[in-house]
Amino acid sequence: MLSSKPRVLISALTALPFTGLFSTQRSLSYTSRRLASNTVLNFVPQQEAWVIERMGRYLKTLQPGLNILLPIIDSVKYVQPLKEIAMEIPEQSAITLDNVQLTLDGVLYVRIIDPYKASYGVEDPEFAVKQLAQTTMRSEVGKIILDTVFKEREVLNIAIVEAINKAAEPWGIVCLRYEIRDMKMPQKIQEAMQMQVEAERKKRAAILESEGHRDAAINIAEGEKQTCILASEAKMQEQINAANGIAKAILLEAEARQKALNHISKALNEEKGRDAANLLVAEKSVKAFEKLAKENNTLIMPADLSPINSLLIQAMSVYKQLSDTPQSSNVEIKQKK
């Protein structure tokens, strides 16, 4: 008798359809849902949650793997997928803040995080989420102007996700992201925007061209300025160099005159030096008189000619002494040798 009971159970299990053992529904759609059958030994697939009722009342949520249920009184009421689900949001009209009518559609990515709330919190989760996405998108688009819709599409997507998550929290559903897929506008608005874009491009081209001319003029003026500065600096340096040359020449001449005067003063301390100085003065006086005598209309008569005669006599005697001095010195040198 003990061996006959397992055979009856196995035969009862094998009599069930094979597809009914693993029949599950992976969509959020409530109307198209096909529930799994209670086969006593139930195998729940990965990333699915089965909501079980006992005699019409919620009992528990089955996790993936083998689960045992009582026949007849236990039933699989809901099968909720735990994977990320992509939903297409149909086209809808929305009016921006500046009264421009747009037609938008998108894609919504959601996931069930609480199978109990998704089963009992809302009648049709898929329909509810789609309607919520449409109304939220229409509301968020109405808060901004048309240019902002194009420039800040990512910001708009984030705002829609936050609004959906806030409203769908009692349903056990979380919105992961929302993407605006297509955006249409009236033909006249498109033509006006195209004209605006062309005008903006022409404006930028004109600005760039004017900036190019301005930069070129600035560069030319800067070049001329630098040329003038360099020329003035070169002229200033030339004048400085000339002044330095003149100053050095004056200093050298003064040093030479100082050295000459030093030699003259040393020579004047000697007797022969004084005689040489007198000879030099006499020669210059004679030359001066000769120069004046060349003039036809000039006649110079000194008041007293005796000093000149005595000066000439003295100069001739000095010259004779100076001419005799080298001979006597040569004789002395020969005697020393």
Instruction: Please tell me the pTM assigned to this model.
Output: 0.49
Condensed to tens digits (0 to 9), the pLDDT of residues 44-103 reads 899 889 999 999 899 998 989 998 889 889 889 888 899 999 999 888 888 888 888 888
* Residue 32 pLDDT: 46
- How far apart CA 260 and CA 252 sit, in angstroms, is 12
Mean pLDDT, all residues of the chain: 77
CB neighbour class for 49 (10 Å; exposed up to 12, middle 13-18, buried from 19): buried
Q: Looking up tokens 């020669």, which residue turns up?
A: 283
Condensed to tens digits (0 to 9), the pLDDT of residues 132-151 reads 889 888 888 888 888 888 88
Condensed to tens digits (0 to 9), the pLDDT of residues 196-253 reads 888 888 888 899 989 998 999 999 999 999 999 999 999 899 999 999 989 888 988 8
* Residue 155 pLDDT: 85
Q: Which token pair is 82?
A: 């735990």
Identify whether the C-beta of residue 171 lies closer than 8 Å to the C-beta of residue 128: yes
- How far apart CA 50 and CA 168 sit, in angstroms, is 21
* Residue 23 pLDDT: 35
Q: Which token pair is 192?
A: 């006006």
* Residue 16 pLDDT: 36
Condensed to tens digits (0 to 9), the pLDDT of residues 108-136 reads 999 999 999 988 988 888 888 889 889 88
- How far apart CA 109 and CA 88 sit, in angstroms, is 9
